[in-house]
Structure 1
Amino acid sequence: MEQKNAWETYDENKMKEVFSFSDSYKEFISKCKSERECIDETIRIAKANGYQNLDDVIKEKQILKAGDKVYANNMGKTIALFLIGEEPMENGMKILGAHVDSPRLDIKQNPLYEDQELAMLETHYYGGIKKYQWVTMPLALHGIVVKKDGTKIHIEIGENENDPVVGISDLLVHLASDQLTKSGSKVIEGEDLNILVGSIPLTGDSKEKAKATILKLLKDQYDVEEEDFLSAEIEAVPAGKARDYGLDRSMIIGYGQDDRVCAYTSLVAMMEMKKSNRTCVCLLVDKEEVGSIGATGMQSKFFENCVAEVMNCTKDYSEIKVRRALKNSKMLSSDVSAAFDPNYASVMEKKNSAYFGHGIVFNKYTGSRGKSGCNDANAEYLGELRNIMEKEHVIFQTAELGKVDQGGGGTIAYILAQYNMEVIDCGVAVQNMHAPWEVVSKADVFETKCGYVAFLKHA
C-alpha cells in the first residue's frame, strides 16, 4: 500500500506551522533532560493552562465538574493530568500515556575518586544503551542533591555555553589493537564508563589533591559535601541543545527523544482540549526504560489511585465504578517506533517499516520474535482509529519494530491493557534510538500532535 509523504501535502502556511511547532518542541527537550525536569516543566505548562493540583482539590473538598482540570504529581517523576468530561468517568476515559525517562548514565552513590592525579566519577548506565556511544562526547550533569535536613539542591552543569563539560575517555587507536577485536558489547565495559571531572591538585596536606579540588568546588558553589552523594540523583547526559538536522532543516537531532517527543506532543494535545464528552487523561511516567517498575513506574498503583481520587472528587466514586472506568477506557500508548534507515536496511522489512515524513506511527503489536511480551491491539480498535485519523486529515502509517527474528521491544501498553481497556502503541519514528543523539522528522512530530488531538476529540 502506498503511504502519503506529509511534506507533499503541506502548503506554505502549513509548513510555517510545522516549523514553528518544532521550535517549541526543541526548546522543551533542550530544557528537560531528566525526568524531574520534564515533570517540573509539565506542571508549569499545566498551571498556565488552568490545571489545579489534585492535592489542593482534595484538601479544600472541592467538587470536580465537567471542564475542570487537575494534575497529580508522583514524587516529581510521574504526572497524571485530567480534563473532567461531561459523561460519568465509569463510561471510560481517553488516555494518552508516554514516558519521560531516557537512557543515560547515573552517578553512583559513592562516585568520586582519584587515580593518578585525575578526579573521576563512577557511573551506572540506565536503560538499554550501546556503551561505546557514550565516550568522547561532552556530557552535562543534571539532578538533585538532598541533604540530611531535607534541603534540595538542584544541579545543572554543562548546558550554559560558559559552563564546563565533562566526559569519558576512549583508548587511542594507536594502542587499540586488542580493543578492536572485541564485540560491540565489550568494546567499552560498564565499569569503565568513568567520567573525568578534574585534574588541578589542591594545595595542602590532602593525599588525593585532585579529588579535594572537586570537593572544594562543590562545597563552595553548591554547599554539597562528599557524603551528600549518598542522597543524590545526578544524571550524566549529552551536553547541548536540540538542533535542526539536515540541510533542509526537515529533522531534529536531540537527546532523549525516546520518549519525550511523545510526552511533549501528548501534553500539547491535552492543553488544546477545553472540554470533552469523556474525561481526557495525559499520563507521563518514569522507569519505562528499565521495566516500568518501582513507585514511579507504570506498574505502580499511582494511576489507579489517581482515578479513584478524581472520581471521589466528582462525588461519583465506588470501587466497581473505578473498575468500570478503567475497563471502558481507550488509550494511545504514546511511544516511539524505529524509523527505516537505509544504512541498516537489512534489519527492517520495508513494507512494514516506519518512514520519516509519513506521519504518526501505529504499532498494532510490539514484543519480540513470536510477539513475546507484546500488546496486540484489536482490529476493531484499529478500524476506529483509522476513521478518526482520516476524519481529521492526519497523516499516519503502520509499522513493526524490525524483522520478526531480529529483536523487538516493549512499552507501557501491556500494563494498561491488563485493565481490559483498548490500547495501541503509536508515536513518532526515530533514527538512532537509545543513542545519545536521536533524530526525528519535524513532519512526524507535528502529525503526531495532530493525531493525539484527533484521538482526544473523537475516541
Structure 2
Amino acid sequence: MDLTYNTKNAWETFDSAEKACVFSFCEDYRNFLNTAKTERLVIKEAVKIAKENGFCDLAEKDTLVPGDKIYFVNRNKNILLATIGKEDILNGINFIISHIDSPRIDIKQNPLYEDCDLSLLKTHYYGGIKKYQWTALPLSLIGTVFLSDGTELEISIGENEDDPVFCISDLLIHLADKQMQQKMFEAFKGETLNIIIGSTPDKSSEKDKFKMAILKILNEKYSMTEEDFVSAELEAVPSTKATDVGLDRSLLGSYAHDDRVCAYTSLRALLEINEPKKTSVCLLVDKEEIGSMGNTGMRSASFEYAIGTIINKIKGNYSELMLKETLRNSFCLSADVNGAMDPYYQEPFEKQNAAVCGRGIVITKYTGSRGKSGTSDANAEFVFKIRNIFNKEGIIWQSAELGKTDAGGGGTIAQYVANLDVEVLDCGVALLSMHAPFELASKADIYSAYKAYKAFYKNC
C-alpha cells in the first residue's frame, strides 16, 4: 500500500497504440478549433456534429424515452445536448458544463473613424486580457450583422489564405522609452486597442476620405451601411491556426483552448454514450469570461427551462418540485481549464498544489480568490466519488489550485450550478499562457480529459 500521493506523467503510461489515439484525437480537435473561432461558430459546429451522430432538435420530439438523443440551442450561443437515461430523471442527471466564449476584441457599435491617413475600428475588449499581447498580431474579423432590411449576414475575413487580415499597431521600440517604464496596465489602454482596416482614400469624397473608402467597400461587398454596425456582433480573433508545438509534437498551441478544450472533449465523450443509466448532458455556455451574465450565460433561466422541458417530455407533466428534485440529485463536472506551472513564472504557484502539463486532467476542489471568494468548494463526498471513478477507470489525473492563496485567482461556472443545489466539481485541462492569443495544452491532457469525461458519464 502506497502511503504517499504521487502524480504520473501521462506520456509514461501510454503504450504505442494509445499514443496513436492521442495524436488522432487531437488532430480532430485541431480541426474543430480552426473551424469554430467564435461562440456562434462553436454552436454551428456542435449542431453539425450532433446531427451526424443521431441527435435531433428537442422541439422535434413530443415525448422522450431512454436512448433518445436531443439538443437544445439557446439564441445561437449555447447548446444543451442530452442522451436520455434508463433511470427516472428525478434520480438526477450527469452534467458536464463548459464555456465556449473566449477572451477577444469586440468591435464597438459606432466604430469606424480615420486618423493619420488610416481607417480604423474602435474596439472594446472582452474578458481578462493582457492588452499588449493583442498588438502587432494578425487578426480576423468574424461575426454576424443584421442589415436595415432584416437580412442576417455572416462575416468572416482573415481565415482563408487569400484573405486580408487586420492589426492593432504598437509603438516602435526606438520611441518607447517612456512606455517601457510604465506599468503594463498603464502603458496599454483599452481605448488604444483600435484595429487598422485600410489606408486608401476615396478621391470623390470631400471629407473623411479614408473612412468613406471603407464604407464603400463594405457596401459593395456586403450591402452594409455605417448604421448596420449598431446591429452587429463582430469579433476580432487571432488569424493564426492551431498548430503542433515542440519537436515531439506533444503540445497543441491555439487561440481559445480556454475553454473549447473542455467543450470539445466533453462533447466527444457524450457522443459515445448510447444507453446510459442516468440521463447524460453536455452543456456549452456563453459569457463565462465576463461573469456568466445575460440570457446565454450560465446564470440564465434558459438552463432550467431546457431541463424542465426535458422532464415534461419524459414524464408527461412538470412541476417546479420535479425540477428541484432532479437538480438536487444531479452531479456536475464544471469543465474548465486551470493554470499549468510555468517554468519561467513559478513564483505565483504553490508547487505542491499546482498543475503540471502532461500529468492528466486537473481536479480543482475550489477556485475563487484569496479566502475562497466566489467559489462553490466541492463537498468531499463528491470529490471522493470522482477520484474513485478516475482511479478505477485508469484515468491520469492531478489535483491543483489556481496559484498561491493570495496571488489572485479566478472563478468558473461551478458556483452558479452549485447554487441550484447540484453537486459540482471543477475538472479540466491545465494550460500554459492562459488567456493569451496563443495558449498551450498537452495533447496527453486533452486526451485524458476526454477519457475522464467519458468515465464520468458511464459511472457516476
TM class by shorter chain equals over 0.9
Residue 37 (structure 2) aligns with? 33
Residue 343 (structure 2) aligns with? 342
Whole-Å separation in 1 of the counterparts to 2:161 and 2:151? 28
1:86 positional shift = 0.7
Matches within 5 A, 1:215-230: 215-230=215-230
Letter in 1 for 2:312: N
1:3 positional shift = 0.8
1:444 maps onto 2:445 in alignment: yes
Residue 332 (structure 1) aligns with? 333
- The correspondence for 1:14, drawn from 11, 14, 18, is 18
Whole-Å separation in 2 of the counterparts to 1:23 and 1:206? 53
Residue 190 (structure 1) aligns with? 190
Whole-Å separation in 1 of the counterparts to 2:290 and 2:32? 23
- SS across alignment from 1:65: coil
Residue 300 (structure 2) aligns with? 300
CA contact (8 A) 1:117 1:208 kept: no
Residue 380 (structure 1) aligns with? 381
CA contact (8 A) 2:99 2:286 kept: yes
Whole-Å separation in 2 of the counterparts to 1:119 and 1:3? 53
Whole-Å separation in 2 of the counterparts to 1:222 and 1:205? 21
Q: Write out per-residue CA displacement over residues 116-160 of structure 1, whole angstroms, 9 at most, x where no aligned residue.
A: 221000000000111111000101101010123321111110111
Whole-Å separation in 2 of the counterparts to 1:246 and 1:426? 26
Letter in 2 for 1:65: V
- SS across alignment from 1:347: coil
1:245 positional shift = 0.7
Q: Which moved more, 1:356-365 or 1:217-226?
A: 217-226
1:266 positional shift = 0.7
Q: Write out per-residue CA displacement over residues 140-197 of structure 1, whole angstroms, 9 at most, x where no aligned residue.
A: 1010101233211111101111111110111111111111111011111000001011
Whole-Å separation in 2 of the counterparts to 1:97 and 1:321? 21
Whole-Å separation in 2 of the counterparts to 1:296 and 1:6? 36
- SS across alignment from 1:33: coil
Residue 243 (structure 1) aligns with? 243
Residue 115 (structure 2) aligns with? 115
Letter in 2 for 1:243: T
- SS across alignment from 2:385: helix
- The correspondence for 1:5, drawn from 2, 9, 13, is 9
Matches within 5 A, 1:105-184: 105-184=105-184
Letter in 2 for 1:388: I
1:51 positional shift = 1.1
1:319 maps onto 2:323 in alignment: no
CA contact (8 A) 2:205 2:212 kept: no
Whole-Å separation in 2 of the counterparts to 1:92 and 1:327? 7
Residue 283 (structure 2) aligns with? 283
Whole-Å separation in 1 of the counterparts to 2:172 and 2:348? 31
Letter in 1 for 2:58: L
Q: Write out per-residue CA displacement over residues 36-63 of structure 1, whole angstroms, 9 at most, x where no aligned residue.
A: 0001100111111111111222xxxx21
Whole-Å separation in 1 of the counterparts to 2:29 and 2:36? 11
CA contact (8 A) 1:206 1:212 kept: no
TM-score by length of 1: 0.98
% of aligned pairs identical?
53
Q: Which moved more, 1:231-240 or 1:177-186?
A: 177-186
The gaps in structure 1 that reach 5 residues or longer are: none
Residue 459 (structure 2) aligns with? 458
- SS across alignment from 1:345: coil
The gaps in structure 2 that reach 5 residues or longer are: none
Whole-Å separation in 2 of the counterparts to 1:352 and 1:447? 19
Letter in 2 for 1:404: T
Matches within 5 A, 1:33-52: 33-52=37-56
Instruction: Let me know the Cα RMSD of the aligned residues.
Output: 0.9
